[in-house]
Amino acid sequence: LYKETWNVGVVLLLLVMMTAFVGYVLPWGQMSFWGATVITNLLSAVPYVGNSLVQWIWGGFSVDNATLTRFFAFHYLFPFVIAAATIVHLLFLHETGSNNPLGLNSDADKISFHPYFSYKDLLGFAGLLIALTCFALFTPNALGDPDNFTPANPLVTPPHIKPEWY
């Protein structure tokens, strides 16, 4: 159907997930450290280059300060890559149009996007931005795992590792 649009959308999803993961590692607590160790070790399953890839990401032979520096750089860089991929995705959507799951032509009921939807989207974006900013500034540790407040120690594994709430 529209393979380019779909592929760029999947790349966007993966980039957002990678940004979230490297951001999760940045507090450098116990859960962050062991999360980085486990997830990056999954790359060792790639045939032929897996171990070299893991050592390149780690910056050595284990998760250490070099890993934290690399993840900080990735966490800073990925939003710019996401913004560029979003523009490409929107260009593809503008060229091909969005897909209707019913496959029916809905040209008869169209109204112009601007100003009607633009202002509505802008108001919703502003409200969400204000709410998230207040949440982040007034309760920064509300969703944090208590084990992640313990500094990273590669010699001690947390006794009760559990999945995150999300």
Q: Are 40 and 63 in contact (CB under 8 A)?
A: yes
Residue-wise pLDDT for 3-39, tens only, equals 888 899 999 999 999 999 999 999 999 999 999 999 9
Cα torsion through 146, 73, 4, 44, rounded to 10: -70
CATH code (residue 68): 1.20.810.10
143 vs 10, residue with greater confidence: 10
Range of 14's domain? 3-97
Residue 120 a catalytic site member: yes
Residue 43 counted as domain residue: yes
* pTM of the model as a whole: 0.80
Residue 156 counted as domain residue: no
Which member of 121, 145, 160, 162 is catalytic?
A: 121
Residue 75 a catalytic site member: no
Residue 106 a catalytic site member: no
Number of folded domains in the chain? 1
Residue 102 counted as domain residue: no
Residue 14 counted as domain residue: yes
Residue 114 counted as domain residue: no
